[in-house]
Amino acid sequence: MVKGGMDGILKDISLRFYKDIRVVKVICEHPLLFVKKKIQDPNDVRPIWIPYFGKFVMKNIKSLQDKQNNTKKYEKLIAKYGNRNKK
């Protein structure tokens, strides 16, 4: 079991693969630094996918678009079927 948080994990990996701990740290942090740089760019709203780690999406823009789309769909359904809960 590795103890010592992130530093302990990096040390364990560096010992296991015979690499300098600074090299291991750069390799582990690079994908997240790349994501940070891309998310901070206001002109780029595309999602970023890191293999074996996940997909990162700018939540605020995506949420606004989803809310607008859902509102339009709801209004169409109400116009088509009306409110069926009325008695």
Nearest-angstrom CA–CA distance, 84 and 73: 17
DSSP designation for 51: T
Encode pLDDT of 33-83 as tens digits. 888 888 787 777 677 888 888 887 765 655 666 677 778 777 887 887 776
5 Ramachandran zone, left/alpha/beta (phi>0; psi -120 to 50):
left
Encode pLDDT of 45-56 as tens digits. 677 888 888 887
